[in-house]
Amino acid sequence: MVSRPSLSEDAYVRSGAEQTAVKILVVGHFAVGKTTLIGSLSEITPLSTEEHMTSLSESVDDLKGVQGKTTTTVALDFGRLTLSERIVLYLFGSPGQQRFVNLWDDMARGALGALILVDPERLADSFEVMDLIETYGLDFAVAINAFDGGAEHTPEAVREALDLLPDTPVVTIDARDKKSSVNALITMVRYLQKRAALEHA
């Protein structure tokens, strides 16, 4: 279990509080839109470790449903987003493939929570990622990345399919759209605040 700093409601709402840096993981299975989301959100030029996919990767990466994908993250993505005068988010995006799972120990250290991106057409691919997040003891919210041309899936249907707890936030986003992605992060931060308040009650 990776230790993480405490999060209190006071850190966000106390008058005169200093700006609080919050480390958030952006995770999900292969080709779900993590790099796109961080790129659309970051107020700085995002750090990206995308590399062109080669013929060697075709034998290990499942390209079903994402045949047009030509690049993949091989280490991490990083971006920064200031939500308010008091809250600045540092976003760390993880690679989606199992062969990069050894990077998670460092990425999860100090994180307060995770935004899990899911493709509603490939929900089964999300279970492995969710298991990792739960292993590290991180609270999380789920963002359904609505892909062009895909069938519509309600948050309630996705919640049931993923067997989520009733209070776990589930939102629908377009990872290319900053407004919807920001709303997902705000929803998650509010959830973290609520969880922290309950832990300190």
Q: How many CA atoms lie within 13 A of 84 on its CB side?
A: 11
Query: Which domain, by its residues, includes 146?
Result: 18-199
Would you say residue 190 lies in a domain?
yes
Q: What is the mean predicted confidence (pLDDT) over 105-109?
A: 86
CATH number at residue 124: 3.40.50.300
Q: What is the SS3 assignment for 72-110?
A: EEEEEEEEEEECCCCEEEEEEECCCCHHHHHHHHHHHCC
Report if residue 22 sits inside a domain.
Answer: yes
For the segment 172-178, the average pLDDT, to the nearest whole number, is 94
Within-domain flag for 140: yes
Number of domains in the chain: 1
Let me know if residue 7 belongs to a domain: no
- Whether pLDDT at 72 is above 90: no
Q: What is the pLDDT of residue 200?
A: 80
- Mean pLDDT for 155-181 is 95
Whether 55 maps to a domain, the answer reads yes
Q: What is the pLDDT of residues 34-67, one digit of tens each?
A: 999 999 999 998 887 655 444 544 545 455 555 4
Q: Does any domain span residue 11?
A: no
Predicted confidence at residue 12, as pLDDT, reads 36
In a domain, 192, yes or no: yes
3 within a domain of the structure (yes/no): no
